[in-house]
Chain A
Amino acid sequence: MGDFCREYTQISLKASEASTPIRHKTQGREAAVVYFSYSSAHKRSASKLLGYPLRSATKPKEEKPPLVHSSYSSAHKARREELWFTVGAQHIPFGASPQPAMVSQYGIKLAAYLISSSYGDFCSKVCECLLSRGTLTLAQIIRFTELSRENVINCLRVLIHQNCVQAFSIQQEVAFGEAPKIVTQYMALFDNTIHKMRFPKFMQIVLEELGKDCLGIFEGLLQHGRLSLNQIIDRNMQTPDNSDVHAVRESFSRLLNARFVERCPAPEPFLAPPEEETPAKKRGTKSAKIAEAPKTIEQRALATASPMESIRFLMEIDTLRGTSEEKGMESHDIATLEEKWKQDFSDAELSSSGKKKEILWRVNFEEFVRRLRHKACIEYVRIRLSDQAGIVLSAILELTRSSETRLKTDKSASMSINDIYDEVIKKDGGLGMDLERVRASLVQLGCQIPTTGIDETYSIDLKNIIELAQNEEVESVVLKRYGREAYRIFRLLSKSGRLLETDKISDTTFVEKKDTLKILYKLWKDGYLHMEKVSVNGPKQTLFLLWEVDKESLWVRVLDEMYHAALNLRLRITYEQDQEKEILQLPTEKLVGELEKRYKRLRKVRIILESSLMNLDDALMLFHDF
């Protein structure tokens, strides 16, 4: 493990040395300084590890303890490498506009590490190759990873089964005169790979909402990636607390109804080559085209592979029998159920060769991310505005959850005031609220009360809430790293959204001119600000410096730093466990004296680091998934 970690750190060191421009050489001599001051102190460790300070979960109005400096070995100070992205086999330097599909440097490293710790080094190599080089064919993967064909094939089998890779076949362009070739390409699913860090959170959601039986099935799906219903039942027989087939199917259908489980996508969808659009069509769909950017081949593959919405959560193809089956389940006895179970197998979809094939099921990540997104919004509203606003928002979101089609919906669906009120009363703490209070909370949430009063519907702007939360996160990073004055300056720039000149900044924020300049340079050097020089030819030539916050590129940089921090935390946790692995193998009775002290220390360290990682993961989702 040590070599592995060394390899990673060396990669990052090499990256830093290879790409730092001249002005960064002085940093080699600086002692690394890490700021940390939090009321929830368990975040200190994470910030220490990386110089990435984490926002405290409590209100910012609280008094913060004084800043403490701590020197740290250069291995873990915040890296000043230039960020780069990869598209295909090219390296695109940071600054070129990033496309949504690309993954940043440390994102790839984190994903590769998660795969290697779970599925071994071979799988990790294949995954890293796909992430950094984009979509590849089997032959290309074999060539780039330099593994044997058998190994690559088995790794791809495992990765596809665990939902980290999606395959699709396309028609390859060939020279004139040859028959078109069809090749299979593989793409890495970065989001699903990173979700592995969050599996416990998903499990908790399932446990809270559906109970222990469903959790058992769900855990099996998490462990194996994909399972058919028969496999689920089979597996359940071998657990210590096994239940009968009836109960298992019941739990499974509950999971399905809550949309926690979905059908697996098609293993190898064929993408027809895109046709030229006729001019008439173009005019008609002009508005649609403006709204949608042209889809990349990966997006098309995913869209083609995913099952239709109508059957995505459907257990049996035969809908008529399906509904009556699920409703009348209790009245059937076990014998008929087992018969139906066998029939289920034969009812399943027809495969391409005409035989019946079994349906595979997997975890529906989209639903869980949606729930976590709602949770984050509600929490933010609860802290920033009021408890009541939080209750109202959670009521609205619960009502509109099933109607959300995309993951990142901007606005929640419109709900009438009466529906909202009915739901609010059902919640804890909502009982005492009356219509007026609900209306007041809605105003707080940014809605406007319609004057007509006939059709009172409201919808909440979720995108706005997420953006506010993201802004706060970045601002707190600036506060911790650069100080209060830098915080003021950054807030001014981020709120104004346009270029501001140095003097103007200095006047508005009441900071001395020379300090302003120093701070602005520091922020610019680290990539937080964008600078433009304007020279004015007047009576004398003056050079004005204009500054602004470029949110898009800054968000990407912040996200990358967070991936880096998460990777470091995971490496450290594994290291600590490795150090004490002899102690972990002893039974608890033998742990006395010195050994007990070490065990306790390990436990404490582990809990702190893992808790920090979980909080960091919340921030990660805030910037990437929400």
Chain B
Amino acid sequence: MAFRGRGRGRGGFGGGGFRAAKQEPFELYPELEDLGTAEYSNRNLQLIKWYSNLQKYWNSSPYYYEGGSERTRNVQKPDVERLSDKDLQVANSKPPLWHFIKLDIDHIPAELARGEKKEKRGIKRVRWNQESDLHKLDLFEKLEQKHQGEEGKENKENEDQEEDDEKNEEEAEEEFSDEGDYEQNEYFDDDEDDYNMGDDNDDEPFF
């Protein structure tokens, strides 16, 4: 396909030679000169805000699928691990998909469904709201500051510890569930094996 006469400076088009068309530099996003004024009402602002909230939620949720095999890669260990990194990781890790999507055969097609043993291992607390944890931590912090000199301080500390414990436990459980030995069979992908592409024998007896 001859691209003569196309004035686009894409790729290795550099070389000279007289061309019929003027070569323009290829700008993907040229500057908008005159945008004009917009008459917008508050309704529009609200719609825009809602849309961007939805987008943010989806991007931070497990629905934003980044590839199962990359999970271990995502955990980037910095050169020098710091204690504060631990909190960072907890805040950023996403709950697994099966917290939200029911993977049993009643709700999705048979070949996509997964067995029930995973679910039974306990959705201890499904995190619908990513901020609810931080919310509670903030709340406890504030309460702690208020009751500093009082006897109530001990109770709050206990609750804090409980909260931390719960978080740690959940975190430990998640880490455990993410990298434990029980996982290995689940993600052992037999189908990558070229010799055993057996996926059409679902309903027939296998002799």
Where the two chains meet, the residues of A that have a C-beta atom closer than 8 Å to any C-beta of B are 2, 5-6, 9-10, 13, 17-18, 25, 28-29, 40-42, 44-45, 48-49, 70, 72-76, 117-120, 122-123, 138-139, 148-151, 153-158, 160-162, 167, 169, 179, 181-184, 199-201, 203-204, 219-220, 222-226, 228, 231, 234-235, 238-240, 264, 267-268, 351-353, 357-358, 360, 572, 575, 604-608, 610-611, 614
Contacts and interface: CB of A to CB of B under 8 A. Distances in A.
Contact of B44 (A18, A49, A607): A607
A610 B51 CA distance: 10
A212 to B, nearest CB: 12
B24 A73 contact: yes
Contact of B7 (A40, A74, A122): A74
Interface of B: 1, 3, 5-8, 10, 20-22, 24, 26-30, 32-40, 43-48, 50-51, 54-55, 57-59, 61, 63-69, 97, 100-112, 126-129, 132, 135, 187, 189, 191-192, 199-200, 202-204
A204 B49 CA distance: 12
B107 A357 contact: yes
Contacts of B102: 228, 358, 360
Contacts of B112: 138, 153, 156-157, 160, 167
Contact of B48 (A75, A220, A610): A610
Contact of B29 (A158, A226, A575, A604): A575
A207 to B, nearest CB: 9
A87 to B, nearest CB: 24
Given A17-B3, A204-B43, A234 B126 contact: yes
Nearest to A232: B128
B21 A29 contact: yes
A618 to B, nearest CB: 12
Given A119-B63, A167-B109, A223 B192 contact: no
Contacts of A45: 32, 35-36
B106 A160 contact: no
Given A29-B22, A73-B27, A238 B129 contact: yes
Given A74-B24, A200-B50, 18 more contacts: A10-B10, A13-B8, A29-B21, A41-B38, A45-B32, A72-B30, A75-B28, A153-B112, A154-B68, A154-B97, A235-B129, A239-B128, A606-B48, A607-B44, A607-B45, A611-B44, A611-B48, A614-B47
A183 B64 CA distance: 28
A238 B55 contact: no
Contacts of B1: 17-18
Contact of B63 (A162, A167, A220, A353): A162
11 contacts: A5-B29, A17-B6, A29-B7, A29-B21, A41-B36, A149-B192, A223-B57, A225-B63, A268-B110, A575-B29, A611-B38
Contacts of A70: 33-34
A267 B109 contact: yes
Contacts of B132: 238-239
Contacts of B38: 41-42, 604, 607-608, 611
Given A122-B67, A157-B97, A357-B107, A201 B47 contact: yes
Contacts of B111: 138, 153, 184
A68 to B, nearest CB: 9
A28 B108 contact: no
Given A72-B30, A160-B112, A201-B47, A604 B35 contact: yes
Contacts of B69: 148, 150-151
B54 A222 contact: yes
A155 B68 CA distance: 10
Contact of B108 (A118, A138, A267): A267
Identify the interface centre among B33, B45, B111: most chain A CB within 10 Å of its CB: B111
B198 to A, nearest CB: 11
A224 B100 contact: yes
Given A606-B48, A608-B38, A120 B28 contact: no
A352 B108 CA distance: 13
A9 B27 CA distance: 11
A158 B191 contact: no
Contacts of A240: 135
Nearest to B104: A357
Contacts of A76: 30
A360 B102 CA distance: 10
Contact of B37 (A10, A41, A149): A41
Contact of A117 (B6, B27, B55): B55
A181 B199 CA distance: 12
Contacts of B8: 13, 74
A9 B7 contact: no
A280 B106 CA distance: 40
Contact of A42 (B6, B20, B37, B68): B37
A29 B24 contact: no
A44 B107 contact: no
Nearest to A72: B30
B105 A353 contact: yes
B35 A44 contact: yes
B57 A182 contact: no
A268 to B, nearest CB: 4
Closest 9 CB pairs of A and B: A42-B38, A200-B47, A235-B128, A41-B36, A357-B106, A608-B38, A268-B109, A200-B50, A167-B109
A96 to B, nearest CB: 24
Contacts of A18: 1
Nearest to A139: B199
Contacts of A264: 107
Contacts of B191: 149
B65 A75 contact: no
A45 B27 CA distance: 17
Identify the interface centre among B8, B48, B102, B106: most chain A CB within 10 Å of its CB: B106
A43 to B, nearest CB: 9
B59 to A, nearest CB: 7
A235 B20 CA distance: 64
Contact of A118 (B64, B128, B204): B64
Contacts of A239: 128-129, 132
B189 A118 contact: no
